[in-house]
A and B are shown apart, each in its own frame.
Chain A
Amino acid sequence: MTDFLLILISTVLVNNFVLVQFLGLCPFMGVSNKLETAMGMSLATTFVLTLSSVCSYLVYTYLLAPLELVYLQTVAFILVIAVVVQFTEMVVHKTSPLLYKLLGIFLPLITTNCAVLGVALLNIRKQNSFVESIGYGFGAAVGFSLALILFSAIRERIAVAEVPVPFRGAAIGMITAGLMSLAFMGFAGLVKF
């Protein structure tokens, strides 16, 4: 249980996927203009990340490792992720039209989110167990959501603030992201993992 908690804290705060490991930056910059869409994206990503982390662990442990096909992991994981995303989209479309409307275009976009592939590959490198890979995927997703929602809330405020002309738009966004990243460095050394 302590291990699980440590993994969560480690992935959410100390090794935050976006702000410390710099994975999944494109949705981080792309869909952070509005708080509402950022929340939809976070929700979708959390679901897909956790599920694909587990699925890719299973594929690796029971298919690739016994057959000594470890070098196929990237291709296989991309396949897994694409399937998980498609499957999720179908299920959500059927079971909850409201959620489907809310997530909309973001669901298929997750396929190309590098944090998802990153988590699958890091699971293998860290030699996580089954339960650990669930926690790792979920923690990474929560960390991503935290960063994305905080960042979009800040950007909503920046939109009405008086920003010097040369810094307007993406530039001030990048600077803000850099400052947030600096702030998250404060968590380094909180947990030894």
Chain B
Amino acid sequence: MDSVLTAIFVLLALALVFGLILGYASVRFKVEGNPIVDQIDAILPQTQCGQCGHPGCRPYAQAIASGEAINKCPPGGQATIDQLAELLNVESIPLDAEHGSEDVRKVAYIREDECIGCTKCIQACPVDAILGAAKQMHTVIVSECTGCDLCVEPCPVDCIDMIPVGTTIGNWKWPAPPSPMQIIATDRSTPSEETA
């Protein structure tokens, strides 16, 4: 009986010691993610549209963190560029027209009686907002759709429309308040104006 107890005790002690070592190691060797990438990613609109030339918003956030231009995001528009410029402390620049132009927010709409159920738009959708199965009619989940246009091109029967979302009492928002720099009059003048 004693030997059994010893065995259990030894194994427990061994496991405890190893647990302590691993616990210490997980604190000591903790790996932090790159915080700036997370912050940039939070600003980007998460449409995953790929218009910037990267396969999604997070890869673009990583690219910005390593020095790429901040004006390649049409869905985010000027507002996103301004926020990025403020975060990264660089000059705000206009949207790069090469990657598309800023537009009103749209959602995809499938004309359901024309849909042949080919599933091509489902494969193209980066956010899984299209519902349907092979040879069954597809439809778009409006609340999931980011309006990225990627499903329009693969559709063989051209039955997908991009419909602008008008402002309704359901989605109207207060305009964003001006940044603190704009409220105080003396802050508005740039240093270059003062010297001039």
Chain A contact residues, CB within 8 Å of chain B: 59, 63-64, 67-69, 72, 75-76, 79-80, 83, 86-87, 90-91, 93-95, 97
- Min CB distance, A77 to chain B, in Å? 11
Picked from B3, B11, B21, B31, the residue with its CB within 8 Å of the CB of A76 is B11
| Given known contacts A83-B22, A87-B21, A72 and B7 CB-to-CB distance under 8 angstroms | yes
| Given known contacts A67-B6, A91-B29, A94-B29, A72 and B22 CB-to-CB distance under 8 angstroms | no
19 pairs, CB–CB < 8 Å, chain A vs chain B: A67-B6, A68-B3, A69-B6, A69-B10, A72-B7, A72-B10, A75-B11, A79-B14, A80-B18, A83-B18, A83-B22, A86-B25, A90-B26, A90-B29, A91-B25, A91-B29, A93-B29, A93-B31, A94-B31
Complex Cα spacing A87 to B11, Å: 19
Complex Cα spacing A80 to B11, Å: 11
Complex Cα spacing A12 to B26, Å: 34
Main secondary structure on B side of the interface with A: helix
- Min CB distance, A188 to chain B, in Å? 38
| Given known contacts A83-B22, A91-B25, A93-B29, A63 and B14 CB-to-CB distance under 8 angstroms | yes
B142: interface (CB < 8 Å): no
Chain B contact residues, CB within 8 Å of chain A: 3, 6-7, 10-11, 14-15, 18, 21-22, 25-26, 29-31
Q: Determine whether the beta carbon of A69 is less than 8 Å from that of B31.
A: no
Q: Determine whether the beta carbon of A76 is less than 8 Å from that of B14.
A: yes
Closest 4 CB pairs of A and B: A94-B29, A83-B18, A90-B29, A90-B25
- Min CB distance, A125 to chain B, in Å? 21
Which residues of A are found within 8 Å of B26, using beta-carbon distances? 90
Main secondary structure on A side of the interface with B: helix
Name the residue on B nearest A76 (C-beta): B14
Which residues of B are found within 8 Å of A69, using beta-carbon distances? 3, 6-7, 10
Which residues of A are found within 8 Å of B18, using beta-carbon distances? 79-80, 83
- Min CB distance, B134 to chain A, in Å? 30
Which residues of A are found within 8 Å of B30, using beta-carbon distances? 94
Complex Cα spacing A18 to B94, Å: 62
Which residues of B are found within 8 Å of A59, using beta-carbon distances? 14
Which residues of B are found within 8 Å of A91, using beta-carbon distances? 25, 29
Which residues of A are found within 8 Å of B22, using beta-carbon distances? 83, 86-87, 90
Name the residue on A nearest B13 (C-beta): A63
Complex Cα spacing A80 to B21, Å: 12
- Min CB distance, B7 to chain A, in Å? 5
Which residues of A are found within 8 Å of B10, using beta-carbon distances? 63-64, 67, 69, 72
Name the residue on A nearest B22 (C-beta): A86
Which residues of B are found within 8 Å of A80, using beta-carbon distances? 18
Complex Cα spacing A72 to B22, Å: 22
